[in-house]
Amino acid sequence: MRIAIIGAGPGGLYTAALVKRLRPGCEIDVWEANAPDETFGFGVVFSEGALGGIEAADPRLFARLAAECAQWSRIDVHHRGRTMRNGGYRFSAIGRRVLLSMLRTRCEELGVTIRYGTRAPEAALLAGAYDLVVAADGVNSSTREAHREKFGTERGERGSRYLWLGTDRTFTALTFAVADTEFGSMHAHAYPYAPGLSTFIVEVDDHVREAAGFTGQGSDTRGGGRADGGPADVDRIAGIFADVLEGHRLRTNRSRWGRFSDVRNRCWSHGNIVLLGDSAHTTHFSIGSGTRLAMEDGLALALAVDRHGAAPEALTAYEAERRPDVESMQRTARISQEWFEELDQYTDLGMEAFNAHLITRSGRLTQDDLPPRPPDQVELIRDRFAEADRRLRGTAAR
Ligand SMILES: Cc1cc2nc3c(=O)[nH]c(=O)nc-3n(C[C@H](O)[C@H](O)[C@H](O)COP(=O)(O)OP(=O)(O)OC[C@H]3O[C@@H](n4cnc5c(N)ncnc54)[C@H](O)[C@@H]3O)c2cc1C
């Protein structure tokens, strides 16, 4: 079987590694437009459940990830000079660059060919030369856009503008901070992902952004557009959030003012081309789950391909397995996004009430809490991959 994968983000690389673990004889070619260490963003959050899936599918990758992940157990809400601490959670996070580098190493160990700095040929061309084409090419997927009628794509940009920044302050919790300014309220989501490094995402309404004179034109964060989260905006943001940053610096990495891009597709495959990760669906970053969803898509697709090969049944099984979880997360994310869009309604509540509203905004208690996989499902995954390992050892011994 020959598989072409467009995009070496977390979704594409994890899919490649898992298919290769289950079907070592499969030939897998991955194309990535960027160079290996060139990527956007800072750290990404994982829930406990997400790491459990990785542990069952690839213990070696899991051990490396677990060793690098920052972990914490609190959500702190910071508002008008007061901080409320909410305990009892379990979060992990890792730098996006470190995650991609680990996935790349895993792919290389398993014999996946990755062509960096090379845009993939058109999916329609690949579809003739490969048994399966996986479009893991992100939120701006050109594969999806080329066949949007077949996929039934709906894409809308809505809500506030955000800027994905980092800081050298090591936060000790997932922290939500609201700043009252003369232009209106602004808020930030921050969390640690490595010693001396935290993600810091700022969101502002259009009218606040205009009043503040932030220069962004609001291109999608990963589309071209102006690199307009420039030093002046960033320095002013650092000043506005100086109390939560405790004097630490803010950093940029291809940081642009953007709007969340809501992507949904009526159908995730067309012929032998299949959408995976952000090309198929997005969830607002306030529930921090896009990377986890992309990787879980990869696991489901690998299992389906192991069972059905590249036959249409594999793509039907993959979508049937993933769509309910994805749509559930999209519903939660939509509620969370709307809560933040209506933040001004809550800022005058007392601190306790404000905190309670924020923490329970999506009707779920934590920000990324699909129930963990049932233990029997985890066992099934573990068995499938362990069986593949045994087969491989048997072949090598012969
Ligand atoms: C502000 C912000 C904060 C976020 N925070 C979190 C978080 O805390 N936790 C979390 O889990 N998720 C978070 N996410 C979401 C997360 O970044 C995405 O969901 C995740 O990266 C999706 O992975 P992917 O592999 O589907 O796509 P991507 O990571 O976008 O990878 C797609 C890859 O395809 C490549 N590509 C595109 N077209 C081509 C082509 N034609 N040829 C070759 N290569 C191509 C791109 O260069 C890219 O490397 C956040 C997103 C944003 C915007």
Q: What is the pLDDT of residue 218?
A: 39
- Residue from 291, 293, 325, 370 to probe ligand 1 pocket by mutation (most atoms less than 8 Å from CB): 291
Q: Residue 188 Cα, ligand 1 centroid: separation in angstroms?
A: 21
pTM of the full predicted structure? Answer: 0.92
Minimum CA distance residue for ligand 1 atom 14:
290
CA atoms of 339 and 361, how far apart (whole Å): 6
Give the position, in ligand 1's atom list, of the atom nearest the Cα of 7.
34
Q: Residue 353 Cα, ligand 1 centroid: separation in angstroms?
A: 35
Q: What is the pLDDT of residue 289?
A: 85
CA-CA distances (angstroms) from residue 340 to 78, 79, 177, 284?
14, 14, 12, 11
Q: What is the pLDDT of residue 49?
A: 66
Q: Are strands 70-72 and 75-79 parallel, antiparallel or unpaired?
A: unpaired
Q: Are strands 184-194 and 174-181 parallel, antiparallel or unpaired?
A: antiparallel
Q: Residue 79 Cα, ligand 1 centroid: separation in angstroms?
A: 31
Q: What is the pLDDT of residue 226?
A: 39
Q: What is the pLDDT of residue 96?
A: 94
Q: Render 44-90 in DSSP notation, one character per residue.
A: EEEEHHHHHHHHHH-HHHHHHHHHH-EEE--EEEEETTEEEEE----
The candidate with the shortest Cα–Cα distance to 158, out of 40, 41, 264, is 264
Q: What is the pLDDT of residue 159?
A: 80
CA atoms of 112 and 12, how far apart (whole Å): 11
In 10 A of CB 72, how many CB atoms? 18
Q: What is the pLDDT of residue 363?
A: 67
- Residue from 44, 98, 126, 262 to probe ligand 1 pocket by mutation (most atoms less than 8 Å from CB): 44
CA atoms of 131 and 237, how far apart (whole Å): 49
Q: What is the pLDDT of residue 285?
A: 87
3-state secondary structure 130-159: CCEEEECCCCCCHHHHHCHHHHCEEEEEEE
Residue 177 structure tokens:
């901070």
Q: Residue 140 Cα, ligand 1 centroid: separation in angstroms?
A: 9
Q: Residue 125 Cα, ligand 1 centroid: separation in angstroms?
A: 24
Domains of the chain, residue spans: 2-397
Q: Residue 36 Cα, ligand 1 centroid: separation in angstroms?
A: 14
316 φ/ψ angles, rounded to the nearest 5 degrees: -65, -45
Give the position, in ligand 1's atom list, of the atom nearest the Cα of 297.
26
Minimum CA distance residue for ligand 1 atom 20:
291
CATH of domain 2-397: 3.50.50.60
- Residue from 38, 285, 367, 368 to probe ligand 1 pocket by mutation (most atoms less than 8 Å from CB): 285
Give the position, in ligand 1's atom list, of the atom nearest the Cα of 289.
11
Question: For the chain, what's the residue count?
Answer: 398
Q: What is the pLDDT of residue 266?
A: 98
Chain centre distance of CA 226: 23
Q: Residue 239 Cα, ligand 1 centroid: separation in angstroms?
A: 29
Q: Residue 253 Cα, ligand 1 centroid: separation in angstroms?
A: 14
Q: List the pLDDT tens digit at each of the 398 positions of the chain.
A: 999 999 999 999 999 999 999 999 999 999 999 999 887 889 988 866 667 788 899 999 999 999 999 999 999 999 988 999 998 888 899 999 999 999 999 999 999 999 999 999 999 999 999 999 999 999 999 999 999 999 999 999 878 899 999 999 999 999 999 999 999 999 999 999 999 999 999 999 989 998 998 875 433 334 333 345 666 889 999 999 999 999 999 999 888 899 999 999 999 999 999 999 999 999 998 887 899 999 999 999 999 999 999 999 999 999 999 999 999 999 988 988 988 988 888 888 888 989 988 988 876 544 444 556 777 888 888 888 988 888 877 766 54
CA atoms of 185 and 5, how far apart (whole Å): 43
Q: Residue 138 Cα, ligand 1 centroid: separation in angstroms?
A: 5
Minimum CA distance residue for ligand 1 atom 27:
138
Q: Residue 317 Cα, ligand 1 centroid: separation in angstroms?
A: 24
Q: Which residues line ligand 1 (CB under 6 A)?
A: 6-12, 31-34, 41, 44-45, 119-120, 136-138, 142, 162, 164, 201, 221, 277-278, 285, 288-292, 294
Say whether 258 sits in a helix, a strand or coil. Answer: strand
Give the position, in ligand 1's atom list, of the atom nearest the Cα of 10.
25
